[in-house]
A and B are shown apart, each in its own frame.
Chain A
Amino acid sequence: MNLITLFRRRTSAPVARERLQVLLAHERSSLGGKSDLLMKLQEEILAVIGKHFTIDRDKVQIKLDRGDSVSTLEIDVEVPSLARVPEAARA
């Protein structure tokens, strides 16, 4: 333990406070009934894509990052049928 860790130590409580504020803001809003929003969103997005392509449900990755003011939802869908289209046909 030295001076550096001593000063660094002081910063942990504000970090905890900020993490909790962001988390609780999201949880308070989602516990009031919107908890299935992500699942519905996933279903609807996949249904739309499913109209045009055959989707392997195992090749769908959904990533979320809840931020203070902005959250990002990343949906990664592997579309095998598109990959098989020959280069010439695509152009």
Chain B
Amino acid sequence: MAKVVVVTSGKGGVGKTTSTAALGAALAQNGANVVVVDFDVGLRNLDLVMGAERRVVFDLINVVQGDARLSQALIRDKRLENLSLLPASQTRDKDALTSEGVQKVINELREKFDWILCDSPAGIEKGAVMAMRHADIAIVVTNPEVSSVRDSDRIIGLLDSKTEKAENGGRIEKHLLLTRFDPIRAARGEMLKTDDVLEILSIPLLGIIPESEEVLRASNLGSPVTLLSPASAPARAYLDAARRLRGEHIEVVVPLERKGFIGRLFGRKVA
């Protein structure tokens, strides 16, 4: 049965889009049929991170409003044929999304795909609510940093009140994805510890993604990091997180960058 997952956070810039692309690709790399859906109407970016920005013709709003068929708006990934993208509109605003319209599109996607990953816009407004509304599972992307944790707490509150599951008396499955994690700074006590974040938010941990230059390189090149460099530390963390999402039990460890002599010599060089 198809699973609808919302990738959300409240705060902007924590890594929702990067994580949507990386997890979507990771699930597809394992053979599942996956679609990643951009809900950030007016400020789309998932197309850019996926490297499909030149191929966008129709978008989510066109499908919701009946101006285009779903099959016309879906963009198939050039690297993985079982990975597709449904882009957001760049010209419209969030008011063009209606709960009924989104529901219809999600239902249609459920018939075609095993996993539907919805990339939520930042904030707690209509766009974010539309992205989470019909989800079965929520991934709350959080940085080990006070404002991000506070906003995540707010989003968890919304997930427990504004989603269809919550309104029908059910509970939406929630997971925490800790991103931009710096193990060295965490060990030095300069960063909120994983245990602290988990205790405050009290939702299960899906994975810890280490801060890495590989993530920036992946978005520069327009490729999910799990496809571009599957052996890198963030990619391994995302691949593990995807396995946990599928229900596998794997211990959470923070993968470290494997650096050779040259890498260590030049590793800190930035320009």
Contacts and interface: CB of A to CB of B under 8 A. Distances in A.
Given A13-B220, A35-B91, A2 B55 contact: no
Nearest to A2: B260
B262 interface: yes
Interface string B20-57: 00000000000000000000000000001001011111
Nearest to A43: B67
A66 B55 CA distance: 7
A80 interface: no
A60 interface: yes
Given A1-B258, A6-B263, A64 B54 contact: yes
A63 B71 CA distance: 11
Contact of B57 (A13, A19, A23, A64): A64
Nearest to B67: A39
B90 interface: yes
Given A6-B262, A15-B221, A31-B91, A66 B67 contact: no
A61 B76 CA distance: 12
Interface string B241-271: 0000000000000000111101100110000
Nearest to B47: A23
A45 interface: no
A44 interface: no
B116 to A, nearest CB: 21
B262 A3 contact: yes
Interface string B219-243: 1111000000000000000000000
Interface residues of B, number: 31
B217 A9 contact: yes
Contacts of A35: 90-91
A63 B267 CA distance: 41
Residue with the highest number of chain A CB atoms closer than 10 Å, among B67, B71, B220, B266: B220
Contacts of A2: 260, 262-263
Interface residues of A, number: 30
A35 B147 CA distance: 37
Contact of B221 (A16, A23, A27): A16
Interface in A1-54: 1-3, 5-6, 9, 12-13, 15-16, 19, 22-23, 27, 30-31, 35, 38-39
A16 B71 CA distance: 29
Contacts of B216: 12
Contact of A67 (B54, B58, B71): B54
Nearest to B259: A1
B62 interface: yes
B69 interface: yes
A61 B90 contact: no
A31 B220 contact: no
Contact of A57 (B58, B69, B257): B69
Interface string B86-128: 0000110000000000000000000000000000000000000
B54 A65 contact: yes
Contacts of B72: 60-62
6 contacts: A3-B262, A6-B266, A12-B221, A61-B71, A62-B58, A67-B54
